[in-house]
Chain A
């Protein structure tokens, strides 16, 4: 089949996804906007009244904002990591998931840092971080890492979008004019000629390596924010690799959930098949084993060394946070392992369920890293008011947290309205590759 015709065919196939919005979809988007607006209101309440409206106090200075920050940023790094691996090693089934991963990467890297801004009591002094940076501080490293990574991920995402923008530019005559203009601008004159294709492949491949390296550096820096302090529960030499594994765990789980939802609601069964779920499920199994191993090592060494403050922390974890601890570190690890270990249990729904358990477990794991440690400080708490000793998130914090999740989903849907979730250029590349292989096979046979 002629290449141009094939492109036209693909553009036609995916155009309903881009142009049509169903009633359910509209209601869903309306709901997401409502959640975001509640979050915006909560933000203004916090801005004008100060952190007193949150559960954060002198001792527990970090709450669910920082947990969401770690969660989203780790999600992004893992997305970048996975995406880089898929591209660099030319994984055969990458085409079905690569765009999902790339969008997750960029969106979570935009939303994650917003949560760290919410932790700052004096936002009017935010610019001091840039005017008076202290190179020795892990916070400064993190700011540099996040900003560099964000730009890198944007470039990388854009590179992977260019061929599709070009296809859409050439095959969207019926689309609204603004959309045509946007495609034309973003396609930057890409015509899929061999020299352009070669250049684009080369820089995409280099960027894929770069985002892997960046993700590892940024992951480690994020972990060092905690582990370079002397706080019990944080001061650990394995925190950086532990964060990398935990991030991958959450990243793969979110990809599986996104694959399931997109497959179900956009009827893409043909592109996102069971084999993709099984592939992702097996990776999730390997990572969950690693995550379980790291979690065990972390808590086991603390328990065995029996240092006073570590013992206090473990006592807190096994009393006040008993069920959360059991869910995060037992169910959150063992349930996915059991589901994914047995071949018979590996169905699309069960794999997705395992991913949901992993995600929730991991969020609680993050909670247990941050809050109980701050509740058991080195110095005894002077003021023994309940709210000073123990942390409980307020509705403001929950509203902003849900607003973050809603914004993530909403932006995901909006990006899916701009470019197809399955890269058309990837499909064409695959077909081109198959044709090439067939030709060379034929040549070998005839010779």
Chain B
């Protein structure tokens, strides 16, 4: 484990050195950047608040050993909409750079309504320039959680808005309905939006959190036209039951097993009753002594 960390540190240091140094170097017995193939992947997610997440994953993969992957960190990634710079971000220790573009951003679109997004790494002495371009349409997801005839129903509407502000329902796209879990989202239903609408009967056995609250997600994932679009809403539809029954009267519970109280009480009462009996007798002895002391005087 220690040696792996050591190796990773060396290689990452080399990559960083290539990013910032003007003088590249190599050693025969050490891996260099040229031994790694750069994986530069770019994706966009339209989030529930209509902001757009632009994310780049920048990883070096060993050409010989594919399992050997090294994230490229501290690399500056610039994001463009056509030639307009949307912003820039630096890759993290995991090799990921993220930029959140506000919901009010006016994107430049082509005649078909596609937004052209570009992520670019301008390169360094050691690493070549990398870039990836994606085109997505701006899709709006509307998630409604309603009880229709006492049936908890998830209603999803998907549409695009043209330059004149006219809503056009989405013809067809795959949709996933999920609920938020402790670690990841739990898929409930996979379906298809047709004519911009999707309806789903929400199950009655989802516990939710302690208050019965559930986060419901409607997700369009890796769509050719729209990329990733997520919408979410919080609803109190959970049927949470406190199933964690507290152990009572166990060795590990707050209250001890009943027999312990009984045994301890018997022992203590037995002993202390005896002490009391002794004390009473001592008082009697004292009383008798006093009577004897008084007699000669009388």
Contact = CB atoms under 8 A, between A and B. Distances in A.
A168 to B, nearest CB: 15
A152 B277 CA distance: 12
Interface in A103-154: 134-136, 141, 144, 148, 151-152
Nearest to A217: B267
B278 A207 contact: yes
A93 to B, nearest CB: 26
A308 interface: no
Contacts of B281: 199-200, 202-203
B271 A188 contact: no
Interface string B271-289: 1101101110110111111
Given A135-B264, A144-B268, A199-B285, A210 B274 contact: yes
A191 interface: yes
Given A135-B264, A210-B271, A188 B278 contact: no
A155 B256 contact: no
B115 to A, nearest CB: 54
Interface string B237-269: 000000000000001100011001100100110
A323 B84 CA distance: 84
A417 to B, nearest CB: 24
Interface in A178-217: 187-191, 193, 195-196, 199-200, 202-203, 206-207, 210, 214, 217
A213 to B, nearest CB: 8
A416 interface: no
Contacts of B286: 188-189
Nearest to A134: B256
A155 B280 CA distance: 12
Interface of A is mostly: helix
Contacts of A162: 285
A159 interface: yes
A217 B264 CA distance: 11
Tell me which of B268, B272, B275, B285 has the highest count of chain A C-beta atoms within 10 A of its own C-beta: B285
A148 B251 CA distance: 24
Nearest to B260: A135
Nearest to B282: A188
A159 B278 contact: yes
Contacts of A217: 267
A193 B292 contact: yes
A358 B268 CA distance: 34
Nearest to B283: A188
A154 B281 CA distance: 16
Interface of A: 134-136, 141, 144, 148, 151-152, 155, 159, 162, 187-191, 193, 195-196, 199-200, 202-203, 206-207, 210, 214, 217
Q: List the 10 closest A-B pairs by CB distance, nearest first.
A: A189-B289, A135-B256, A188-B286, A203-B278, A203-B281, A136-B256, A189-B286, A196-B285, A191-B292, A199-B281
Interface of B: 251-252, 256-257, 260-261, 264, 267-268, 271-272, 274-275, 277-279, 281-282, 284-290, 292-293
Given A190-B289, A196-B289, A203-B282, 10 more contacts: A141-B264, A144-B268, A152-B275, A188-B289, A191-B288, A199-B281, A199-B284, A202-B281, A206-B274, A207-B274
7 contacts: A134-B256, A135-B264, A136-B256, A155-B278, A190-B285, A190-B289, A210-B271
